[in-house]
């Protein structure tokens, strides 16, 4: 399985989390980067994951990912998350491809591995903890990714024929968009970089 991980340019990312860093843009960018680095660190360590590639036009993200041994592909001219994922999938030219969101700072490799195994050869997705969004989308072997991320993406992925995977994988389902999500992810056990990037209120 090869995974594409989209990472928005840090200065524009995670706007719903801005209050967590008190409006300081430097701390905010550091937190957004830490979320992505912790997610990718867990993904790279997952048995069954052969390759991880981030899709980003942010040179700071690409440099940090390179330090982890992870390649980055620049975003295409067409804007938006799904266009970025389609571009990444095309670039990888892999037989088996998936898209993993970059805001899963509590992600445990064992849970990602279990979800990959549960998918088998099906096109499948993992909904977020609220059941409305999507944290992981897996193409069938040789099949297209056909990403439909955005508001209500779980419903869109289901309607497009992907199978919902609802296993006991809280770290895989806990994407962090808000301060409340961050608190929940902390209970699950944050990756080291996000833990270090957090403001004092969480301690
Ligand atoms: N490369 C790329 N990644 C994106 C883009 N939009 C969203 N993402 C990534 O997709 C994932 C889910 O995005 P959201 O949760 O909506 O994140 P966000 O847009 O940074 O957050 P908000 O500003 O709060 O909506 C995150 O990993 C983002 O970094 C995009 O246009 N390009
Ligand atoms: C883009 C998505 O993420 P979020 O709900 O975190 O914005 C999605 O779930 O499709």
Q: Name the 3-class secondary structure at 21.
A: helix
Of the candidates 38, 69, 42, which has an alpha carbon nearest to the alpha carbon of residue 53?
69
Q: Going by CA atoms, what residue is nearest to atom 4 of ligand 1?
A: 8
Four-residue CA torsion sign, 178, 180, 181, 185: positive
State residue 151's pLDDT score.
97
Domain 2-196 grouped into CATH 3.90.550.10 = yes
Spans in the chain with pLDDT lower than 70: 199-203
Look at the block and give the residue holding tokens 């036009």.
57
Ligand nearest to the CA of 37: 1
CB 147 within 8 A of CB 99: yes
Measure 124 CA to ligand 2 centroid, in angstroms. Answer: 16
Q: How far apart are the first and last CA of the chain?
A: 37
pLDDT at 82: 98
pLDDT at 201: 56
pLDDT of residue 23: 82
Would you say the ipTM is above 0.90? Answer: yes
Q: Is 125 helix (H, G, I), strand (E, B) or coil?
A: strand
- In the structure encoding, which two tokens stand for residue 41, read together? 């660190």
Question: Residue 20 has what pLDDT?
Answer: 83
pLDDT of residue 93: 84
13 CA → ligand 1 middle, Å: 6
Q: What is the CA radius of gyration of the chain?
A: 16
Give me 144's structure tokens.
Answer: 């297209």
């Amino acid at each position: 399985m090869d995974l594409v991980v989209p990472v928005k340019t840090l200065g524009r990312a995670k706007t719903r989390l801005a209050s967590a860093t008190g409006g300081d843009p430097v701390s905010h960018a550091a937190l957004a980067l830490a979320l992505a680095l912790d997610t990718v660190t867990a993904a790279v360590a997952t048995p069954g994951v052969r390759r991880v590639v981030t899709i980003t036009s942010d040179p700071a993200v690409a440099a940090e990912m390179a330090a982890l041994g992870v390649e980055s592909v620049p975003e295409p001219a067409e804007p938006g998350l799904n266009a970025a994922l389609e571009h990444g999938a095309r670039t990888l030219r892999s037989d088996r491809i998936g898209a993993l969101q970059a805001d899963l700072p509590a992600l445990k490799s064992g849970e990602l591995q279990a979800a990959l195994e549960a998918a088998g050869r099906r096109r499948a997705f993992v909904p977020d903890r609220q059941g409305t969004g999507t944290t992981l989308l897996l193409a069938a072997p040789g099949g297209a990714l056909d990403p439909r991320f955005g508001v209500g993406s779980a419903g869109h992925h289901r309607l497009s024929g992907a199978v919902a995977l609802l296993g006991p994988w809280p770290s895989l389902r806990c994407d962090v968009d808000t301060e409340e999500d961050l608190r929940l992810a902390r209970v699950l056990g944050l990756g080291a970089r996000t833990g270090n990037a957090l403001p004092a209120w969480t301690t």
